[in-house]
Amino acid sequence: MNDSTATEKQKKHFWNKRPKKELTVDDITIVDKDMLKRAVGAAALGNAMEWFDFGVYSYLAVTIGKVFFPGGSPAAQLLAAFGAFAAAFLVRPLGGLVFGPLGDRIGRQKVLAITMIMMSIGTFCIGIIPDYESIGIMAPVLLLVARMVQGFSTGGEYGGAATFIAEYSTDKRRGFMGSWLEFGTLAGYLIGAGLVTGMTAAMSTEQLLSWGWRVPFFIAAPLGLFGLYIRLKLEETPAFQKHMEKQEQLEHSKPRLGVLQMLSKYRAQMLKCIGLVLLFNVSNYMLTSYMPSYLTGILGLSELSGLMLVLVVMFVMMPLTLFWGHWNDRLGRRPVIALGAVGIILLAIPCLMLIGSGNLGLVFVGLMILGVLHTCFSGTMPSALPALFATDIRYSALAIGFNLSVSLFGGTTPLITTWLVDTTNNLMMPAYYLMGAAVIGLITVYFTRETANKPLHGSAPAVGTRAEAHKLINKLKLRRQKEKDAAKAAE
């Protein structure tokens, strides 16, 4: 993963390039604050919609297992429900292959509107599928189809949303602005999980099994329409607009790279993306998707107790995600991610011992520690990942790398961990799985270049005001003068 290749030298940061002419204010992107807020809100809303579904599905996994797979044991039902959950991740790379290049060709905003429509349709359809007793084997088949529609659309969602926010943000606050994307994730999950928790408390088991479980999925339709309206009101990102202007000015535009060519040319960056996403999503899905069912199905806690514990942890994680979003702009992306990875390596086993104790207070402490460590990733990754790639291939590369890693390692976490615990009867398997992901993530961080407070690859510096632009120009002039003076002194 050495970045000192000839190819990398040709792609040096705008910040480090020596321009042939003096940099002017017109060369610097001045971000419209109102448009930035709308862009962040629209991107975060789409992510909230996606994770509303994840929260609902994870918290209803036991119920869904009974509705669609009634013939098996409780463990087999849970395994089958998570199997349908994981199946959606198999098609996410296909969604990335379709929507990523499309986003680099026709624009980020248009593709994000398309993915919003598909996500809401897929989620709504789950709510109208008849149960196993009504149509037999077709019930789980239709569930699988609906989940795959969701997975396909999600393949273009996160990469596009992260790219959208990163390209709209100023260089100094890209970390903080990006952290709102994961704030939306937690908010959506919290709303979905909270809704299920309230229904579990208010309804009898019979009501929940007969019709109650469908209600959260029906809510996807109005949420999707609202999100679509917001996204259609947005303009394209400044970075993409400037990129397209440059392409139009060129008489002979360079041919676009094919997927295999891109994977080969940018393999170092793709490997880094996969490694970082592996760390990010294994800890994410372990906490948000697996733990609710682990607490109830494996440890035997009451459903309401298990659901409430994870909900409180999610609530505390929301401001902590913004906290790390702010501080990774100051401390750097690499130190914050490394802190979370080291914390998991050292504390995963103690946390699972606390969770496995069965004492509600100790279970909460174990979950809370894992949640706090995860916010090191959720507050940092939305800004760290887009910075790995240049503007012309950013959406494509991020969508493919992100979804490939999520499909292989993240979304399968509940399924694999459930299988490992069921096969080995070792309740510490989740801790070992987390530690393995943290080791891989830590190695990846070591080989990743710091990008905090720097322009994105292939983009001009981005600031909030003209005064900041003039200040940046003066700073660059001073730097060049110092370089000239140092060169003369060396002669």
pLDDT tens profile 7-33? 444 444 444 444 445 667 777 878 878
pLDDT above 70 coverage of the chain, percent = 91
CA distance 263 to 157: 20
Q: What does the pLDDT read at residue 56?
A: 81
More confident of the two residues 254 and 480? 480
H-type helices in 233-302, by residue range? 238-249, 259-265, 267-285, 291-293
Of 89, 223, 57, the residue nearest 155 (C-alpha): 89
Mean of the pLDDT values across residues 410-433? 86
Q: At what angle do helices 429-446 and 333-356 cross, to 10 degrees?
A: 170
Contact predicate 188/52, CB 8 Å: yes
Tell whether the torsion through CA atoms of 411, 416, 421 and 426 is positive or negative: negative
Tokens describing residue 73? 């044991």
* pLDDT at position 133: 81
Helices and strands, counts by H and E, the chain: 25, 2
Residue 389 has pLDDT above 70, yes or no: yes
What is the pLDDT at residue 255? 57
Name the pLDDT band for 330 (thresholds 50, 70, 90).
very high
User: If 0-12 CB within 10 Å is exposed, 13-18 middle and 19+ buried, where does residue 333 land?
Assistant: buried
> Using one digit for the tens of pLDDT, what is the confidence trace for 403-415?
889 888 877 888 8
State the Cα–Cα distance between residues 233 and 80, nearest whole angstrom: 41
Give Dmax over CA atoms of the chain in angstroms.
87
Task: Give the burial class of 254: count Cβ atoms within 10 A of its Cβ; 0-12 exposed, 13-18 middle, 19 or more buried.
Answer: exposed
User: Which range scores top for mean pLDDT: 165-169, 249-253, 344-348?
Assistant: 344-348
H or E segment to which residue 167 belongs? helix 157-168
Query: Lowest-confidence range among 135-149, 353-367, 379-393?
Result: 135-149
CB 190 within 8 A of CB 314: yes
The answer to whether 63 and 213 have CB atoms below 8 angstroms apart is yes
Angle among Cα 109, 152, 411 to the nearest 5 degrees reads: 115
Q: How many CA atoms lie within 13 A of 246 on its CB side?
A: 13
Specify the pLDDT at position 8: 42
Residue 268 corresponds to which tokens in the numbers above? Answer: 């170092």
pLDDT of residue 120: 83
Cβ atoms of 240 and 107 within 8 Å: the answer is yes
What's the pLDDT band for 274 if we cut at 50, 70, 90?
very high
User: Whole-prediction pTM value?
Assistant: 0.82
Residue ranges covered by each domain of the chain: 29-238+266-459
What residues pair up with 29 in beta bridges, in sequence order?
462
Rg value, the chain, Cα? 23
Which amino acid type is present at position 32?
D
pLDDT of the residue at 22: 67
User: What are the backbone dihedrals phi and psi of residue 29, each rounded to the nearest 5 degrees, phi first?
Assistant: -80, 120
Q: What is the pLDDT of residue 388?
A: 93
Which pLDDT score, from 0 to 100, does residue 7 have? 40
Rounded to 5°, angle at Cα 57 from 101 and 191: 90
Q: Token digits for 435?
A: 């530690």
**Given this model, what pLDDT does residue 13 score?**
47
Please enumerate in sequence order all residues whose Cβ is within 8 A of that of 145, keeping only pairs 6 or more positions apart, or say none: none
Q: How many CA atoms lie within 13 A of 408 on its CB side?
A: 13
Q: What pLDDT shows up at residue 105?
A: 82
Nearest to 54 by CA among 84, 9, 18: 84
Mean per-residue pLDDT over the chain, rounded: 82
Give the span between the Cα atoms of 188 and 120, in whole angstroms. 13
Kindly report, residue by residue over 147-177, the tens digit of the pLDDT.
Answer: 888 888 888 888 888 888 988 899 999 999 9
Indicate the angle between helix axes 174-202 and 303-331, nearest 10 degrees. Answer: 170
Query: What does the pLDDT read at residue 15?
Result: 44
For the segment 431-442, what is each residue's pLDDT rounded down to a tens digit?
Answer: 999 999 999 999
Residue 21 pLDDT: 56
Confidence of residue 257 (pLDDT cuts 50, 70, 90): low
Q: Kind and range of the H or E element at 462?
A: strand 462-463
Asked: is 29-238+266-459 a CATH 1.20.1250.20 domain? The reply is: yes
Q: Where are the beta strands (DSSP E) in 143-183?
A: none
DSSP string for residues in 377-402: HHTTHHHHTGGGS-GGGHHHHHHHHH
Handedness of CA 291, 342, 321, 93 (dihedral sign): negative
pLDDT for 23 equals 67
- Where is pLDDT greater, at 48 or 178? 178
Q: Which of 459 and 348 is assigned the larger pLDDT? A: 348
Work out the average pLDDT over 314-321: 93
Distance, CA of 328 to CA of 317 (rounded, Å): 16
- The pLDDT score that the predictor gives to residue 178 is 93
